[in-house]
Structure 1
Amino acid sequence: MSRPQDQDDFTGEAEYGAEAWAGATGAGSDELEEEGLPPWLATFGDLMTLLLTFFVLLYSMSEIRVEEFTQASQSLQEAFGSISFLPVEPSASPSVIPLEQPEARISEEIQILPDDMRIFAITDAYLEQIARRLEELIEDNELDEVFSVLRTEDGVRLRILSTTLFDSGSAALDPASIWMIQALGEITTALEAPAVVSGHTDDVPIQTAQFPSNWELSAARAAGVARALVAQGHDTEAIRVEGYGEFRPVVGNDTPEDRAQNRRVEVLFSRDDIMMILRRRLEQGLGIPEAWQVQGS
């Protein structure tokens, strides 16, 4: 009776069999242990990552040209009459998902775009007309040392030095210079221009019974200019008054010349105000004010 093989004998035979099979097939022990995805997938993944990065860069450098988009939208509307969506009739087993957004709202948003672009164009042309008229006023009357016209992001701003209009510590217009404001009022009235009149002072404090601080003085001076404009026919509903005291200087208050620059009254023809009025009038079907219409707008 033969003796049973112990565990070590079985292990040795198993290892010998594995080595023999590896030698016959040409595969080493390292290749037997190596498992995972094919090597080409790593290269493919790198390629996809580079392509994604490339398209992201293209998108980030692209820009939307609103004017071209508007022209394309108008061309489509002229060609097809209007843009609409056919309602979807859901069946027992629908294959098309109905749109949740109402078609009226989509059509309304498309129609709004041309109006907004028109408002932008009219506003820019109107502001340029105001600036030109003010510059003509300055040139014709040699007021370049008193008046200056600034074209800014918020509109057209006329800056008037207070030294010419008011005595020190006073809000009463100098009778010898009131004609300047009257000439300005003729322009703003003819153009029906909404205006914001703001008063500014230097940082020298004032404390009187009439003007406890520079706030009151600056507001009173702005109100005096506004009243003179209204006296020339400017609509009271198209003008407002603001006083900022010494808190919005244009230069430092280090020298008498600098302080004279900060003592001023400004008349702003606000871009936002004009656009708001235009939008409201168009929504109400009132059209563009005749005085605002510029050739080519």
Structure 2
Amino acid sequence: MKTSSESRAAHEMLVNAFDRDHDDEGGEHSGRWLLSYADLITTMMVLFLALYAMQLAKHREQAIRTQSLAAAPASVARAPAARPRAAESALLASLDPLRERGEITIVPAAHGLEIGINAKLLFNAGDATLLPDSFGVLSRVARVLAQVPDGNILVEGHTDSTPISNARYASNWELSSARAGAVVRYLVERGVEPHRLAAIGRADNFPLVAGTDPASRALNRRVTIVVQY
């Protein structure tokens, strides 16, 4: 049998062995978190460097673009304004006889000109069929518009504030749209490119003058041709 001293010695050897294993294991685990932390710091550093490089590239591109615009010749900057003035002069010269006779009006519009034609010259009351007397004016306008190389042409029908409701037109919306469409068809037949044209019904929402007397209503019944450059 083992003596008590031998038993105590064996017990101490087991305890020491367990402690060594535990210390080794604990030391191994304590080193792992340092590796993970170092990886995280490295990843964040790479991310911040990449963001900084992208920001520098963006600022450089904006600086180059600003310098290019500043260095553009003055003639290039003035070109867009010169072209509309030339086209406007041509229109005014070609249509001036019609304006002098009071058959049309010409006023400046946003990015172009607005040609106004009184509806009395174009249509009978409550109708959207072009009158033969309007063909001379519309043909002259169509020839001028066909010579303008590009730009949108918006044909807008306007009525007075008197409500309308008959078998053909339920309201002034339908009447004004039909009148604009009739003028558009005529312009296309006279050589104006269809893709440049648009027919718009305005009803009585944009009166030329205020008032409900016969003279005011007559002025508000009109078709306008907005030529955009």
Is structure 2 residue 121 aligned with structure 1 residue 164? yes
Residue of structure 2 equivalent to 1:108: 65
For residues 172-251 of structure 1, the aligned pairs below 5 Å read 172-192=129-149, 193-251=151-209
Change (3 A) 1:201 1:110: farther
Aligned length: 174
Change (3 A) 1:186 1:245: same
Residue of structure 2 equivalent to 1:145: 102
Q: What's the offset of the Cα at 1:156?
A: 1.3
Mapped contact 2:146–2:191 kept (Cα < 8 A):
yes
For residues 120 and 241 of structure 1, what CA distance do their matches in structure 2 show? Answer: 33
For residues 119 and 267 of structure 1, what CA distance do their matches in structure 2 show? Answer: 30
Is structure 2 residue 201 aligned with structure 1 residue 253? no
Residue of structure 1 equivalent to 2:84: 127
Mapped contact 1:150–1:158 kept (Cα < 8 A):
yes
Change (3 A) 1:186 1:167: same
Q: Hey, which of these two has a bigger chunk of helix by percent?
A: 2
Mapped contact 1:134–1:149 kept (Cα < 8 A):
no
Residue of structure 2 equivalent to 1:266: 224
Structure 1: runs of 5 or more not aligned:
1-97, 275-297
Change (3 A) 1:117 1:210: farther
Mapped contact 2:105–2:115 kept (Cα < 8 A):
yes
Residue of structure 2 equivalent to 1:61: none
For residues 148 and 71 of structure 2, what CA distance do their matches in structure 1 show? Answer: 25
For residues 14-29 of structure 1, the aligned pairs below 5 Å read none
For residues 164 and 226 of structure 1, what CA distance do their matches in structure 2 show? Answer: 16
For residues 264 and 213 of structure 1, what CA distance do their matches in structure 2 show? Answer: 16
Output the amino acid matched with 2:127: S
RMSD: 2.7
Relative contact order, CA 8 A, sep 6+: which one is greater?
Answer: 2
For residues 73 and 214 of structure 2, what CA distance do their matches in structure 1 show? Answer: 47
Q: What's the offset of the Cα at 1:214?
A: 0.5
Output the amino acid matched with 1:177: S
Q: Deviations over 1:84-134 (max 9, x none)?
A: xxxxxxxxxxxxxx8352533432344356779867744433333343333
Change (3 A) 1:248 1:190: same
Residue of structure 2 equivalent to 1:20: none
TM-score by length of 1: 0.52
Mapped contact 1:146–1:160 kept (Cα < 8 A):
yes
Change (3 A) 1:154 1:168: same
Q: What secondary structure does 1:197 align onto?
A: strand
Change (3 A) 1:194 1:102: same
Larger Rg: 2
Output the amino acid matched with 1:220: A
Output the amino acid matched with 1:182: S
Mapped contact 2:106–2:116 kept (Cα < 8 A):
yes
For residues 238 and 114 of structure 1, what CA distance do their matches in structure 2 show? Answer: 35
For residues 220 and 80 of structure 2, what CA distance do their matches in structure 1 show? Answer: 29
Change (3 A) 1:142 1:110: same
For residues 217 and 223 of structure 2, what CA distance do their matches in structure 1 show? Answer: 13
Structure 2: runs of 5 or more not aligned:
1-54
Change (3 A) 1:101 1:233: same
